[in-house]
Structure 1
Amino acid sequence: MTLDQTQIWIVIAGMAFGTFFIRWSFLGLLGDRELPQWALRHLRYTAVAILPGLIAPLILWPSGTGGEPDPARLLAALVAFGMGMWRKSALWAIFSGLITLYAVQYLLG
């Protein structure tokens, strides 16, 4: 399926228009108002809900190994999770997982 220049620009303009109004609905309409307590409570869990969906495929089906689970990535994820639970710090979790990943990859060759 090939698209001509006009169709491509219509799709780009439509996407720009759509994303602008999605952001404007929060910033323009609600920017100077206080959000209700129930909405603030739900927004606190946004990162907790999104991050596992972004990270899990990179751990379980990494493209670097052809989609096969990799022991180095699994161990790094477990160390990062454990460090995050123990230290209650995202930076400790990130750096411990990073160090574990590269150390295990170096040791395994």
Structure 2
Amino acid sequence: MTDDPVTVWTIIVLLGLGTFLIRFSFLGIIGDRKLPAWILRHLRYTPVAVLPGLVAPLVIWPAATGGQPDLPRISAAVAALATGYLTKSFLAAFATGAVTLYALLYLTG
């Protein structure tokens, strides 16, 4: 990356403007209007699509182990996935994954 301050600030301003415009398109332009049912149906799947993309790299390539997969993280992910599938509860899946991860990290050292 370049160390030129003008280039860095240009990138920061353009990214900030882009982020603002993306949010404004939903909140400012159509924020007070009723969205069609087909859009609302698709928006329900946004968290389900984003969360695995955030969690999977932390399970498969954890920074804590130098990028090597390990049993506690994979076991916690499987336990959380199974609990979420069976109970349909995010909080139960989160709690199960957290307890499994910390218990296995404690037991394995």
TM-score normalised by L of structure 1: 0.91
Q: 1:70: which partner in 2?
A: 70
Consecutive aligned runs of 4 or more in structure 1 exceeding 4 Å deviation: none
Q: CA deviation at 1:21?
A: 1.1
Q: 2:4: which partner in 1?
A: 4
The superposition leaves residues 7-60 of structure 1 with CA deviations (integer Å, 9 ceiling, x where unpaired) of 222222212211111111111111111111111110000111111111111111
What is the SS of the residue equivalent to 1:68? coil
Q: 2:100: which partner in 1?
A: 100
| Aligned Cα root-mean-square deviation (Å) | 1.3
Q: CA deviation at 1:86?
A: 2.1
TM-score normalised by L of structure 2: 0.91
Where structure 1 has 5 or more consecutive residues not aligned to the other structure, the ranges are none
Query: How many pairs align?
Result: 109
Structure 1 range deviating more: 85-94 or 1-10: 1-10
Task: Give yes or no for the alignment of 1:48 onto 2:48.
Answer: yes
The separation in 1 between residues aligned to 2:10 and 2:108, in whole angstroms, is 50
Question: Percent identity over the alignment?
Answer: 55
Q: 1:24: which partner in 2?
A: 24
